[in-house]
Chains A and B, each alone.
Chain A
Amino acid sequence: MSNLTTTPAVLHLNNVSKSFGSNRAVRGVSLSIQPGEVIGLIGENGAGKSTLLKILSGNYRHDEGTIAVNGREVQFRGPADALRAGIGVVHQEQSLFTNLTIAENIEVNTPIGRGGVNRLGLYNWRRLYADAAQALDLIGSHLNPKTRVSDLSFVDRQMVEIARAIRVSAASHTTPLVILDEPTAILERTETAILEREISKLRDIGSVIFVSHRLDEVMRICDRVVVMRDGELIADRTVDDVTEEELFRLMVGRETHAAVRSRRSIDPANSPVISIHDLTRAGSYADVSIDAYPGRVLAILGTSGSGRESVARAIFGAEGFDSGSVSIAGYSGRQLTIKKAVALGVGYVPAERKTEGMVGEMPADQNITLTHPGSAALGPFELPRRRLSLARAWFEKLDIRPREPGHTLQDFSGGNQQKVVLAKWLNSSHLKALVLDHPLRGLDPGAAETVNAQIRSVCDEGTAIILIPDTIDEALDIADDIVVMRDGRISGVFDLGHDNPATLDLLERML
């Protein structure tokens, strides 16, 4: 079908625009992707990446410009059209039916009748399994198509999503274009390595658009990086011609100002705020002892099976433990509840911001005073005017934008939401320790940097921070102490005041 002398681009966008009312979300984007190319698409939240992806997946229709797939101009009337043209999207939030088998998930979008999988509305189970196995084989995965998705690890589920994305184009023998929307956002480092390998395999059968906030990954995986800002495509570079710092500057519009943290060893005269001793929870972690000191950031590293998240939740009273003790500011009890932990001065920023960290439909100011009303309270009452002025002060101090504390929190961008969640705890008159579970998850680099700056300044004011970081680099960047966990046990403790562990050393202790 394709001309042998000049292979047409897999995807060619010419001057594509899309507006929502007066807001021009995507403005005149032109982009061309060759077969076998891996393109990195980066940009801050709100830069127009998601809108562009939704145009490509057929969810939105563009207002202006043309889209050509394999040299032919196309008009997508819906996601099914995009799939048929060979464009498959793996969404940020996984969209698999966990109660069904791998095969059923992969075949869910196959057109009826065509491949014979679904005839007269009935499944041909043998064909279903065979076709799914073929799709998995194509991307080099050896998962059994009969396995239920609920039994799979996160990384394996991602593979199923990729197989599903290429399934339709494999059936119609077109070159697939797979769009991965932040596939690594919640992967641990080791899992990321696996996914990176899989992406490079995709190169052999088609092209990839890789959306990520992790610039180092983009540099490693991609051939070319395109940067979006304010709806426009402002840069298109091959990875050899660009550095991480430059990408950051292009995305955010300013230089990074990550200062190197000056560190001291633990002062022997100080006593820990939180001291956990031989903490054990059957099946999750065992004999964990950690001391967190005021004014220090303690990062706990580990893979997803390390049990570090459970330890963090135990400190906040959100999960129970079987034996050992947690003492907070001198108090030590068998039964630690969230209420007790909060009364003792512990705050917790959960990894699942939208479901656990904030009440998205409530205004930002009401979220801030939800736990500690501070000066907004008058006996059992809470005065809206005082609450608003208190919230304004936090918006000013943490630089939360836009400066509209009366707006519903879900309307803010991720980084600003996270700062509101921080403010909720900082509003305590007796905050002694903050437990941060993946505080930078899903934030773009600019937002992550400002949140990190706030965490540092809170710490410098004398709060103990216990951090579950996304990456080793994040820990090396901000922590004073690093504890490494492996399979529920501590495998390394470093005081960065005098230890200087190498990334590889930390990684070894994690695996």
Chain B
Amino acid sequence: MTKIDSERTKVAVPARGKMPSVKRIGGWHAIGPIVIFLAILVVVAILTPAFIGSGGLAIIASSSAPILLLALGQAMVLNVGSIDLSNAAIGLLGAILLALTLGPVAGLSPVIVLLATTAFGAVNGLIVAYAQVPSFALTLGTLGIFQAVALVASGRTTVYVASNGEGVHALYESGIANVPMTFWMGVCLAVFLWVLLRYTRIGRGMTAIGKNESAAIFSAVRTRSLKVLAFALSGFAAGLAGIAIIAQAGSASPTGLGSDLLLPAIAAALIGGTSISGGVVNPLTVIFGALTVALVPIATTAVGIDAQAQSLVYGAVIIGVVALTMSRNKSSIVK
């Protein structure tokens, strides 16, 4: 029997020979976004040493906060094999609602805003899961709806926080290590999501959906509820982003700060190693994805690149970085 066993083990060798390389990619997948952020930072530090000295890092971190929050929500939705194009619009609507309600209801206002944005996200999820509308089409539609609601709610102008804004504003003014609390809020959310994905059955189920939805269904994973939850988390994270916007600007408008965060947030999620076809995500590296996205425009200015060429550099860097960090486990199928 033992002789037979050794022979049969030999048969399995080809499969085994393949395994270490997969593992190596996994390792790069975990640290790639960090390495790339640091590499860009080093280049900037060498070219303009003053940038780092004058608190440039804190500027990057604080400007990355809303992107980070939205990117984390987006990453959760991407992980279940869907996409949420409406989350930045939900975030901005949340900011407008916060600015409108802080005066009348004070401390209750952020709670109401978070409940509302989470509900918006959940509605997206419910329609995707139960009416089976493809998420791209659905959230493209709800993106328009939320933008319209934001226009109506704001009366097409900038809404200023009338009173009671101190508490929210303090999130931006106070901080740890010179970095505002809004950023640390994102870090806390990232840690929470990391634990959710790594150590809970809910997280495991979500990842299974992203990797192979049919198999998840046949394994009795509650695929519909988990999709709704992923979208609800995206709405919740968007609500936090709305709070971060008010904390930073003290006001919100349909065309102001936060109105163009959708694509940077998706870029941050991708640079952070999230697979656009689902099933691969690490919220902790998404932090560095968001930092990289915030760093690039600041760095191009600091290095002194012509303003007209900045978006070209920005675009080129995003493509290059995603090419380097993108998870390619899913054979060659990249959506």
Is the Cβ of A355 less than 8 Å from the Cβ of B220? no
**A338/B220 contact (C-beta < 8 A), A23-B14, A356-B214 known:** yes
Chain B contact surface mostly: helix
Closest to A372 in B: B220
Given contacts A46-B11, A47-B11, contact A350 B201 (CB under 8 A): no
The stretch of A375-383, A482-490, A492-500 in contact with B is A375-383
User: Is B208's CB within 8 Å of the partner chain A?
Assistant: yes
Most buried by A among B17, B215, B217: B215
Which of A73-81, A186-194, A213-221, A403-411 contacts its partner? A403-411
**Interface pair B9/A21, CB less than 8 Å apart:** no
Question: Would you call A412 and B202 a contact (CB within 8 A)?
Answer: no
Residues of chain A with a CB closer than 8 A to B301's CB = none
A382 to B203 Cα, complex, angstroms: 10
**A496 shortest CB reach to chain B, Å:** 30
> For the side of the interface on A, what is the size category?
35 or more
Min Cβ gap A101→B in Å is 27
Is the beta-carbon distance between A382 and B217 smaller than 8 angstroms? Answer: no
Contacts of A356 in B (CB 8 A): 214-215, 218
Complex contact B7–A253 (CB within 8 A): yes
- Asked whether any CB of chain A lies closer than 8 Å to the CB of B102, the reply is no
Interface size class of B (residues with CB under 8 A): 35 or more
Residues of chain B with a CB closer than 8 A to A342's CB: 220
Tell me the bound Cα distance from A416 to B202 in angstroms: 27
Contact, CB under 8 Å: B218 / A382: no
Residues of B within 8 A of A352 (CB): 214
Residue of B nearest to A353 (CB): B215
| Cβ–Cβ contact A361 & B218, under 8 A | no
**CB-contact partner of B14 in A46, A360, A362, under 8 A:** A46
- Are B212 and A348 neighbours in the complex by a CB distance under 8 Å? no
Q: Would you call B9 and A401 a contact (CB within 8 A)?
A: yes
- Residues of A334-386 contacting chain B, CB below 8 A: 338-339, 341-342, 348, 350, 352, 355-362, 366, 369-371, 373, 377, 380-384
The answer to whether A402 and B12 have CB atoms under 8 Å apart is yes
* A230 interfacial contact with B, CB 8 Å: yes
Q: Are B15 and A380 in contact, CB atoms less than 8 angstroms apart?
A: no
- Write out the residue numbers on chain A whose beta carbons fall within 8 Å of the beta carbon of B4: 253-254
Complex alpha-carbon distance, A412 and B16, angstroms: 8
User: Which residue of chain B has its CB nearest to the CB of A253?
Assistant: B7
A-B contacts counted at CB < 8 A amount to 115
Given A254-B4, A424-B219, verify A381-B200 contact (CB < 8 Å): yes
Does residue B8 face the partner (Cβ distance < 8 Å to A)? yes
Does A270 interact with chain B (Cβ within 8 Å)? Answer: no
- Whether A413 is near chain B, meaning CB under 8 Å from some CB there, is yes
Find residues 1-47 in chain B having any chain A CB closer than 8 Å to their own CB: 4, 7-19, 22
Shortest C-beta distance, B15 to chain A (Å), equals 5
Q: Which of B8, B13, B200, B216 contacts A23 (CB 8 A)?
A: B13
On chain B, the residues within 8 Å of A360 by CB distance are 211-212
Contact yes or no, A358 B215, CB < 8 A: yes
**Pair A361/B211 contact, Cβ less than 8 Å:** yes
Whether A413 lies near B15 (C-beta < 8 A) is yes
Inside 8 A of A402's CB, which chain B residues have their CB? 9, 12, 15-16
Say if the beta carbon of A22 comes within 8 Å of chain B: yes
Bound Cα distance A194, B200 (Å): 52
Contacts of B156 in A (CB 8 A): none
Task: Answer yes or no: A13 CB below 8 A from chain B CBs.
Answer: no
A332: shortest Cβ distance to chain B, in Å? 20
Interface centre among B19, B219, B330 (most CB of A within 10 A): B219
A413 touches B12 (CB 8 A): yes
Task: From known contacts A371-B221, A381-B200, infer whether A361 and B279 are also in contact, taking CB-CB under 8 Å.
Answer: yes
Q: Are A362 and B208 in contact (CB under 8 A)?
A: yes
Q: Is the Cβ of A355 less than 8 Å from the Cβ of B214? A: yes
User: B301: shortest Cβ distance to chain A, in Å?
Assistant: 41
Cβ contact within 8 Å between B222 and A348: no
Q: Is the CB of A358 within 8 A of B222?
A: no
* Known A370-B221, A371-B219, A384-B199: A401·B17 in contact at CB below 8 Å: no
Give B208's nearest chain A residue, CB to CB.
A359
Contact with A along B265-292 (1 / 0, CB 8 A): 0000000000000010000000000000
Say whether B200 contacts A357, CB under 8 Å: no
Given contacts A338-B217, A362-B207, A371-B219, contact A411 B15 (CB under 8 A): yes
**Interchain nearest-CB distance for B115 vs A (Å):** 22
Which chain B residue has the least Cβ–Cβ distance from A355? B214
Known: A361-B329, A371-B219, A381-B199. A413 touches B214 (CB 8 A): no
Query: Which residues from B are CB-within-8-Å of A381?
Result: 199-201
Inter-chain CA distance A168–B221, complex, in Å, is 48
> Would you list 29 pairs from A and B whose C-beta atoms are within 8 A, ordered by A residue?
A23-B13, A45-B11, A46-B13, A230-B11, A253-B4, A339-B222, A355-B215, A357-B215, A358-B212, A359-B216, A362-B207, A362-B211, A370-B204, A370-B216, A370-B221, A371-B220, A380-B200, A382-B199, A382-B201, A383-B199, A384-B198, A402-B9, A402-B12, A402-B16, A408-B22, A408-B329, A413-B11, A413-B12, A424-B219
Q: Which residues of B contact A (CB under 8 A)?
A: 4, 7-19, 22, 198-202, 204-205, 207-208, 211-212, 214-222, 279, 329-330
Chain A residues at the B interface, C-beta cutoff of 8 Å: 20-23, 25, 44-47, 230, 253-254, 318, 338-339, 341-342, 348, 350, 352, 355-362, 366, 369-371, 373, 377, 380-384, 401-402, 404, 407-408, 411-413, 416, 424, 446
Known: A25-B14, A339-B222, A401-B8. 7 other contacts (CB 8 A): A21-B17, A253-B7, A350-B218, A359-B212, A382-B201, A404-B16, A446-B8
